[in-house]
Amino acid sequence: MMEYKGYLGQVTFDDEAEIFHGEVVNTRDVITFQGKSVKELRKAFTDSVDDYLAFCAERRELPDKPFSGNLLLRMEPTEHRLIYTAAKKAHKSLNAWVVDTLKTVARSAQ
C-alpha cells in the first residue's frame, strides 16, 4: 500500500505488460495510476491524487474523504440483539464492542 494525503493506493504488477497499475482504495471516486518503475509509480500516484483534488476544487465540490469515522451497519433484529447482549456482557457500549471486535478481526486478517 502507498499513502499520500490520507489516500491509500493499492498496486498490482502486470507481468506481460511489465507495468505497475494502482488504484486508490479508500474513496468511492475512481483514482488510478500506473508506472514502469517504483519511482514512476510513486510520482503517478501523487500526481493522480493532486489532480483529483484540483478537479474537485475547480468544480467547487468537496473531494470524497478517505474515511469519515462513521460506519452504518444493517442486520437482522435478532443479530442486533445478539451483538448488543455480547457488548453488555463485556461491560462495553455497543459501539466500543463493535469497534474492538472489528479491529481484532482486521488485525488478524493482515
Q: 110: pLDDT confidence band, cut at 50, 70 and 90?
A: confident
Contacts of residues 72-79 at CB distance under 8 Å and 24 or more positions apart, as own/partner, are: 73/98
What pTM value is reported for the model?
Answer: 0.66
Cell of 79: 443479530
Same-domain status, 6 and 53: yes
Positive or negative, the CA dihedral 88, 92, 98, 100 is negative
What digits encode the pLDDT tens for the residues 41-61? 999 999 999 999 999 999 999
Please state the domain count of the chain.
2
Same domain, 50 and 96: no
How many Å apart are CA 18 and CA 28, to the nearest integer? 28
Confidence of residue 66 (pLDDT cuts 50, 70, 90): confident
pLDDT attached to residue 71: 85
Domain range enclosing 29: 2-58
Q: Do 52 and 6 belong together in one domain?
A: yes
Structural domain contains residue 68: no
Task: Tell me, yes or no, whether 63 lies in a domain.
Answer: no
Last residue of a domain, one of 16, 31, 58: 58
Residue with cell 463485556: 90
